[in-house]
Structure 1
Amino acid sequence: MSSQVNQDIAERKMQFLFQLRSKGVTDNRVLTAMEKIDRGPFIQGFFADRAYEDTPLPIACGQTISQPSVVALMTQALNVQPRDKVLEVGTGSGYQAAILSQLARRVYTVERHRQLIRTARKAFEELDLGNITAIIGDGSFGLPQQAPFDRIVVTAAAEDPPGPLLAQLRVGGIMVVPVGQSDAVQSLIKVTRTETGFDYDELRPVRFVPLLEGLGKEEYI
């Protein structure tokens, strides 16, 4: 690889990190994880050369890879600790799980589309991310056999924080989830489980695909 190409990549990464900071990402651990995990391997085909842009991009199965600043802000809100066990609902490209893998002890990620799980697993293997377990399943019901979780992140919008996921959150744990009844009006919510219930903090407006129950239609064929 030529020195000019290396220089171009380094400059794009610097600009990438500057964009994250300008959007309010201040946690150095999150910034380090975002710098270490290249977004490129999680974007296929036509859009691959736009990996360093702070924009959502389409992926297979009618889904999207979130813009990096939203991934970073959700990760920052989770405040993941090195011993934490994290559940992600909605693997998508695998990019969010890869970022979380740099911060947590173990990441479980659940996806309803088998094609996306296959692609994400390949990326995890290529990047040697051995602390991620990617599972095909209905993430709206969580992963009861591995509960409770220290942190839960949902990468699709629900009308309300899903009850099964709240039940699988450890006392003191944090869940970050987009909530809204339409794709036009959604809020990113931080839920903290206390000894007596749940505290809710509204973080920012967002736009995510809807959280759907069941598996992707190709799984029923």
Structure 2
Amino acid sequence: MHGSNGPGRRGAWGVVAVVLLIGVHLLRGGADELRADGPPQPLAAAAPDTAGLLPGAAAPDPLPASPPVRVRVPSLRIDAPVAEVGLDADGWIEAPPPEERASAGWFTGAVTPGERGTAVVVGHVDTPEGRGVFYDLGALTKDRRVEIVRADGRTAVFTVYGIEVVPKDAFPAARVYGSTGRPELRLITCGGLYARDGGYTGNVVVSARLTEIRPGTR
């Protein structure tokens, strides 16, 4: 994270690179038998509105930093461990290894889930061995919950306000990763059309906002 541009700028470009790294892994070896219909894709109506408002949803105060250890999406039956992913020697985000398709990755250059700012959790849609942890992510709908269990024992509960597919060749990084001044979360995997010689054309991006904090046992 260190460099002449400072950690903020280096981190921002590192985050943008996640869309390339996940795509490269899937391009080199995807589970083609799963693509007769392909993973579910978000509906246009599920895209976030301009304000990302959650009517009637109270906003808890931001939490102090604490790394995530597990991600849960109850409506999709996702319950997976979260590993740390950082930047490689070239300054790009490291995607979760393909052999860890059942795990998600938290980008350590962004805030921890529940802090003020935008936390980023990534995961594979598929790998040569089969479906990845976020294969069904595009089926998520607004107002569903995403639960992040943190190392401090607390669970940060986020409410989804948008699910969309964005193109990889015109990724809206500032809008997706920029801070809104509130604790937010982005879940990201590959999506859109798939071609054997080009991989997935886009990324499924889930936008969610902190709406509840569950205390831990310690």
The TM tier, using the shorter chain, reads under 0.3
Q: Which has the higher contact order (CA 8 A, sep 6+)?
A: 2
Report the TM-score when normalising by structure 1: 0.26
Higher relative strand content:
2
- TM-score, normalization: structure 2? 0.27
